[in-house]
Structure 1
Amino acid sequence: MKAIVYDQYGPPDVLKVTEVDIPIPKENEVLVKIHATSVNFGNLVLLKGEPFLARFAFGLLKPKYPIPGGDIAGRIEAVGKNVKNFQPGDDVFGDLSGCGWGGFAEYAAIPEQSIALKPTNLSFEEAAAVPMAGVTALQAIRNKGKIQSGQKVLINGASGGVGTFAVQLAKAYGAEVTGVCSTKNLEILRSLGADHAIDYKKEDFTKSHQRYDLILGVNGSHPITAYKRVLTPNGIFVHVGGSGAQMFQAMVLGPLISMLGKKKMSTFLHRANQQDLIYLKELLETGQVKPVLDRCYKLNDVHDAFRYFAEGHAQGKIVLTV
């Protein structure tokens, strides 16, 4: 089968298109013919081996997982003898980040707990855009942010993969949502249901008089003290992504700020979860949430896909068709 492989950290040029053996599913695994996959920030971390701390999980000197790729959507071709909930012919989508990655390929052998039935109203390309970004947004807002109906929620970096899902999920939970993005993305936020859209090039939300119950930092470089300033007295800030300095502050200063007052400042890393995938499937099928696709690339054009993603200006998700 065709696969994208790499044996050293570096720029997109280290990725190679090559032929490898089709994997044989174990007793609790299914063999999926992959139709589409997508690019996430986690893929960029695996590619570059940065930040360096990530190498303790992904390989200290060289990549531990030779085939990158977390999100997949495809059709099951075979199942292991202990698989109970899937059968050949099922269309599925899933997140391989918790089971060895391997999504940038024509086939993958996947534990059945890492996938769910694909939403019936989505194409393979649309479904492949959901798992990592959608579950990240869901867990950050629901689990870490403890969102409640009627709250005022701000999402900084609202037009990217995680951000577009976060806007829609916050609305589904009954919040009043403000999205922060660049000028060209204001309309997409409004189309997704955002109550307010702020152009960060024209307005600094951290200097306004508005206060928010929950702030999701998906992108940006504001110091966390600036986020703290615009939280309500019992507000919560959840750092999902942004500058390295901001991440360091959230990890080091966040716990201290949280201990000294009622405002909570926390960091967050997503965890692949089948039940969350199933929950998202229901929201997708009822139309409460929809994936936003920026561009689709062929698998052979993976280098171009990564270069575009690294620019940081994607509107929604970047998908690779296999």
Structure 2
Amino acid sequence: MAISIPKTMRSLCIRRFGTPSKWEIADLPTPKITRGDEVLVKVHAAAINPTDIGAARGKYWPAFNVPLPYKIGYDLAGTVVERGSEVTKFNVGDEVFCCLPFKDRGKYGTGAVSEYALLAETLVVSKPRNLNFMEAASIPMVALTALQMLDKVPGGVQGKTVFIPAGLSGVGSAAVQMAKNSYGAEKVITTVSTRKIPMIDGLMSKGVVDESIDYTKVNPAKMIPDNSIDVMIDSIGATFSSLALLKNGGMIVACAGPPSSGRNLRNISTDVPFLIEKILDFVNGIVRWWVGRYQVKFDTVLMKSNGTELERIKTWVEEGKLRPVVGKVLKFADLEGIKEECGRIMKGRGGVGKVVIDIIAD
């Protein structure tokens, strides 16, 4: 039986770039399938990432021609309500989760915090059977970012000591679990605030983190011996303050702080102007040179949506190697609550895990 799809949908968006206080929920056209390999998903839950807030503030405007109104959100979980003629992996009614691309074949893919979302079949993955929609929506972007960072390490992290600051943040909580449970790190060190230390084992299972440092009481750089870390996974911009901790030949992979290369940005979208690409490559080259003075290798990651990698993540979730860390769940209708919570994220005031929005009211 055919599912009736409305011509318009509610979507969290911004008509002019600005802070979360300017966000609104508006009626916008429901996306339509125009290619045989596309699926339309009715969104049950979506997650908010710092990247969403940065994009809505116009952070990426110099590099991308971002259309307005800008629909917010990348992470979602929901059910397939329509599929293109070439789709073979999914049927109407299938439960899925995914990370929308920033741009896909000329279409801007953002807009997870909406009633419907459209994307290519290759980016969609069946929802892990052991998760509900809220939990599933919290995973894609942070887990894909962590995976792509860990995959950057030559020879991997198996048997190594890995430092991952902010272990109960979005990317941090995924990275510490994956480093130990999926990639075989020997020792995982992280930082958290005082109140979060007792939460670590409960949220991520005992033994995932080997050493927790309360950064509110002591400087992690004073607690960790110099030349003792093999790999640092940096999602908070702590690269320059941590260089002395790395062994000679060690590796830092960052998704925050020092700018990514123009090449990485072009991997997300070919819209990047040539001049901006070259400026970013130049700045990134200076950072690599500076870090290299400490006999440390350095690389950056800009997460790119990838269905094959998300399948790997789904397997780890179902095997119990990766648990979702959901911090707060808000109703879609609670616009003021969404603005307030996203304002907190923007200011870097530490919550726990991911903020998830319940799109379909109970």
TM-score normalised according to structure 1 size: 0.90
Alignment match of 1:203 (pick from 200, 208, 218) = 218
Offset of 1:20 from its aligned partner?
Answer: 2.2
Q: Which residue of 2 aligns with 1:273?
A: 306
Give me the whole-angstrom Cα distance separating, in 1, the residues matched to 2:283 and 2:299.
6
> Match for residue 21 of structure 2?
13
The corresponding residue for 2:82 is 78
Judging changes above 3 Å, is the alpha-carbon distance between structure 1 residues 17 and 121 closer, same or farther for their aligned structure 2 residues? same
Q: How does 1:1-322 map to 2 (within 5 A)?
A: 1-26=9-34, 27-50=36-59, 54-59=60-65, 63=67, 66-98=70-102, 99=104, 100-144=109-153, 146-172=155-181, 173-175=183-185, 176-191=187-202, 192=204, 193-207=208-222, 208-209=224-225, 211-220=228-237, 222=238, 224=240, 226-242=241-257, 251=284, 253-257=286-290, 262-300=295-333, 301=335, 302-312=338-348, 313-322=350-359
**1:168-218 deviation digits (Å, cap 9, x = unpaired):** 001112211011121112123344220110011222222342511001121
The Cα shift of 1:250 comes to 8.3
The aligned length equals 312
Alpha-carbon spacing, 1:243–1:321, altered in 2? closer, same or farther (3 Å): farther
Paired residues of 1:69 and 1:103 also in contact (CA < 8 A): yes
**d(CA) in 1 for partners of 2:167, 2:154:** 16
Deviates further, 75-84 or 9-18: 9-18
How far apart, in 2, do the equivalents of 1:185 and 1:201 lie? 11
Aligned-partner SS, 2:62: helix
Contact 1:49–1:55 at 8 Å: present in 2 too? yes
3-state SS of 1:56 partner:
coil
C-alpha separation between the residues in 2 aligned to 1:17 and 1:141?
36
Tell me if structure 1 keeps the 8 A contact 2:162–2:231. yes
**Percentage identity across paired residues of the two chains:** 29
Deviations 1:45-79 (A, max 9, x none): 111112xxx213443xx645621210010000110
> Displacement, 1:144?
4.2
Q: Distance in 2 between matches of 1:257 and 1:150?
A: 27
Preserved contact between residue 297 and residue 305 of structure 1 (Cα < 8 Å): no
CA contact (8 A) 1:309 1:318 kept: no
Distance 2:283 2:192 in 1: 21
Give, in angstroms, the shift of residue 154 of structure 1.
0.6
Distance 1:23 1:314 in 2: 33
Which runs of 5 or more structure 1 residues have no equivalent in the other structure? none
Q: Which amino acid aligns with 1:55?
A: W
Q: 1:146 to 1:272 in 2, by over 3 A?
A: farther
Distance 1:228 1:243 in 2: 13
Contact 1:23 1:109 in 2 (8 A): yes
- Contact 1:37–1:320 at 8 Å: present in 2 too? yes
1:108 counterpart letter in structure 2: A
Q: Give distance in 1, aligned partners of 2:243 and 2:302.
A: 20
Q: Distance in 1 between matches of 2:229 and 2:297?
A: 12
Distance, in Å, in 2 between the alignment partners of 1:64 and 1:17 is: 14
For 2:313 and 2:283, how far apart are their aligned partners in 1? 28
Residues 190 and 196 of structure 1 are in contact (CA less than 8 Å); yes or no, is this contact kept in structure 2?
Answer: no
What CA distance in whole angstroms lies between the structure 2 residues aligned with 1:268 and 1:65?
A: 27
Q: Given that residues 47 and 73 in structure 2 are in contact (C-alpha distance below 8 angstroms), is that contact kept between their aligned partners in structure 1?
A: yes
2: CA distance, partners of 1:97 / 1:318: 19
Comparing 84-93 and 251-260, the one that deviates more: 251-260
Q: Which amino acid aligns with 2:184?
A: G
Task: Describe the superposition over 1:200-250 as per-residue Cα deviations: whole angstroms up to 9, x where unpaired.
Answer: 122222234251100112125x461x3221101111011222488xxx998
The separation in 1 between residues aligned to 2:153 and 2:180, in whole angstroms, is 17
Change (3 A) 1:29 1:266: same
In structure 2, what is the Cα distance between the partners aligned to 1:170 and 1:105? 33
Q: Given the superposition, is the C-alpha separation of residues 250 and 238 from structure 1 closer, same or farther in structure 2, using an over 3 Å criterion? A: farther
